[in-house]
Structure formats: structure tokens, C-alpha cells
Amino acid sequence: MYRRASDFAEQAHRMQRRKITGEPYFSHPRNVAHILRDAGFREEVVAAGFLHDVVEDTPVTLDEIRAAFGDDVAELVASHTEDKSQSWEERKSHTIDVVRTGTLEQKAIIVADKLDNLQSIKYALSSEGNKVWGYFKRGYDLQKWYNESIVANMYVGLEKEEIPSYFKQFEQLCQWIFRK
């Protein structure tokens, strides 16, 4: 399943580029999947990590994900997929709600996604400084609100021993980036 999900996501995102680095977009879902795999999550969660942006950002549908990877993977992808008909604030509030109320696996995919995004921002800050915030439709203040809200809600309902170590890494990186 790992290889199939990787190939599927790479093909779906083949024409896309990351907005900050300009590198092929697939580098992001690959990084998310690797974070999940390294944390010991089951293959369906890792597959969902590869596929987490496919429905949101490409013509691929949730039904196609379900047919190719099964209900479990499709439900994990669906929990992470934003409704682009909503405003940025509505979409981000929904993600924060999923982080607060979701399962460990749902939270894990979201936090892995946000960790990789912040790692890209940290890299860009080192070379571009605060110009990096111009890449986003919502600047520094709203990015800070969003990421700090993820941190404030990601531990809700989890036992200390089940929290992946990269959650703390995300929290620390968020504090460093938004330290102003």
C-alpha cells in the first residue's frame, strides 16, 4: 500500500509546485508520510499521509481514493480535506475542530502536515526573512493564530504515552517561528 499511495500521490500532484520553495509539490506529502511512518503509524495512516492533499488540490475524488485504497484510508483523507467553497477562516476553524475532537490518527496526519509546512517556513525565513509571509493569502498574524490553535488543541483527549514525539517538535517549532 505504501508504494501505491506514494505513486498515486506523486502522479496526482505532478504539475504542482510548493509555493515557498518552488520544488515539486510531492515533496510535501512524501515528508508527511515519512513523519507518520517514522512515528510507527499503521500503513493506512501512512498512505493517508501521502494522499492527504490529493482530493483538496487535484481533480481526484474521495470515491477514487476509496476505490483504490479502501474505506479506512478514504475516511482519514476526508477528515483532512478542506471544503474550498468556504472562507480561509472557516476552513482553518474546521481543521482546528478536527484536531480537538478527532482520533489520534486524524490528529497525527494534521500535525505531521503542519510540521512539514513550518519546516519549510523556517527554511524560507533563514533566506528571505519576513518576506516569506507574502507567500500566504493570510499573513503572519493569521498564520500564527492558526498554528498556535493547532498546538492548543492537538493534545486534547490523548494520553501522554500515546502522543507522538513530533507533536512536541511541532509545538517547539511553532513557538520559535511565532516568537514575536
Active site residues: 56-57
Long-range CB contacts (< 8 A, 24+ apart) of 12-21? 12/54, 12/58, 12/60, 13/53, 13/54, 13/57, 13/58, 16/57, 16/58, 18/120, 19/135, 20/120, 20/121, 20/123, 20/124, 20/132, 20/135, 21/120, 21/123, 21/124
Contact 115, 62 (CB under 8 A): no
What CA–CA distance (Å, rounded) separates 86 from 100? 20
Cβ neighbours around 149 below 10 Å, total? 17
